[in-house]
Amino acid sequence: MTDSATSPGFLAATRAFYDAVAEDYAATFRDSYAGRPLDRALLRAYAELVGPGRPVADLGCGPGEVTALLASLGLDVYGLDLSPAMVEIARREHPGLRFEQGSMLELPLPDGALAGVVSWYSSIHTPVDRLPALFREYRRVLTPGGHLLLAFQAGDHPRRHDQPWGHPVALDFLRRDPEHMAALLTDAGFTLTSRTVREPDENLGEPVPQAFLFATAR
Ligand SMILES: C[S@@+](CC[C@H](N)C(=O)[O-])C[C@H]1O[C@@H](n2cnc3c(N)ncnc32)[C@H](O)[C@@H]1O
């Protein structure tokens, strides 16, 4: 594992990376859910589990594609992201929705404020020794019975993205063992309700399987 994922500066490194690539990232993934029926099905199931009009945070929302999809499914959802550039794009592209800048490791929310937390490929830059604190923070802001949806790449070895789209930045994308993540969620006060691992989709350029965990706050 490399410095950007293990040093205390991992948040600064993550923010700098996404600030640099935000416009290219947003252009690449704009409307990409049209071509991802299985992922959409999981997000639809999640919206149904949480229930219409219930408050949900999409933590690490990037340009807000999933936030907008969840809003279209009836959730009262807002997005939060570490990267100011990502937040600016999300606000520009989804003007009817709320987006805030901040870290999901320290949420400015009272205990039990939310019925749902979505972490869609956003825990992938949090070093493994910080995951227990991250999951406790997700648990803290959920009401008992509230729903977490956690998406990440499955695997053992990080993938380093160096100079993406020609920008002079680099960051590790950490892959995880779904069973280990499930155990950490259980330790943080969640009950696992579903574990899905789908095969990599070559059309999306995915090199490894994709994992989706559903859990409820105990
Ligand atoms: C791979 S992108 C995923 C973005 C979006 N969820 C999507 O699927 O398109 C990871 C995002 O998580 C955000 N992120 C990473 N760590 C974060 C943290 N501690 N707090 C808030 N956002 C974070 C990054 O800034 C980035 O926008």
Q: What is the pLDDT of residues 33-59, one digit of tens each?
A: 988 999 999 999 999 999 999 999 999
Q: Where are the beta strands (DSSP E) in the chain?
A: 55-59, 76-81, 99-101, 114-120, 142-153, 159-162, 170-173, 190-198, 210-217
15 band by pLDDT with thresholds 50, 70 and 90 = very high
pTM of the model: 0.96
Of all atoms in ligand 1, which is nearest to the CA of residue 11? 19
DSSP run (H or E) holding 92: helix 84-93
Contact 178, 213 (CB under 8 A): yes
Question: Which residues surround ligand 1 with Cβ inside 6 Å?
Answer: 11, 14, 18, 29, 59-62, 65-66, 80-83, 86, 103-105, 120-122, 125
8 band by pLDDT with thresholds 50, 70 and 90 = low
| DSSP 8-state class, residue 7 | S
As given in the structure block, the two tokens for residue 109 are 């929310």
| DSSP 8-state class, residue 59 | E
Q: Rounded mean pLDDT of 165-190?
A: 98
Q: Considering only CA atoms, which of 127, 121, 150, 156 is closest in space to residue 138?
A: 150
Helix axes 37-50, 65-72, angle to 10 degrees: 60
Percent of all residues in the chain with a pLDDT value above 90, rounded to a whole number:
94
CA–CA gap between residue 16 and residue 119 (Å, rounded) = 20
CA–CA gap between residue 121 and residue 152 (Å, rounded) = 5
Q: Rounded mean pLDDT of 188-195?
A: 98
Contact 210, 173 (CB under 8 A): no
Q: Rounded mean pLDDT of 90-115?
A: 98
7 band by pLDDT with thresholds 50, 70 and 90 = very low
Give the model's pLDDT for residue 1. Answer: 42
Q: Residue 138: is its pLDDT beyond 70?
A: yes
Q: Rounded mean pLDDT of 101-107?
A: 97
CA dihedral 200, 152, 185, 63 (to 10 degrees): -140
27 band by pLDDT with thresholds 50, 70 and 90 = very high
Percent of all residues in the chain with a pLDDT value above 70, rounded to a whole number:
96
Q: Rounded mean pLDDT of 84-102?
A: 98
Contact 142, 117 (CB under 8 A): yes
Beta bridge partner(s), residue 117? 57, 148
Pocket probe for ligand 1: among 82, 93, 212, the residue whose CB has the most ligand atoms within 8 Å is 82
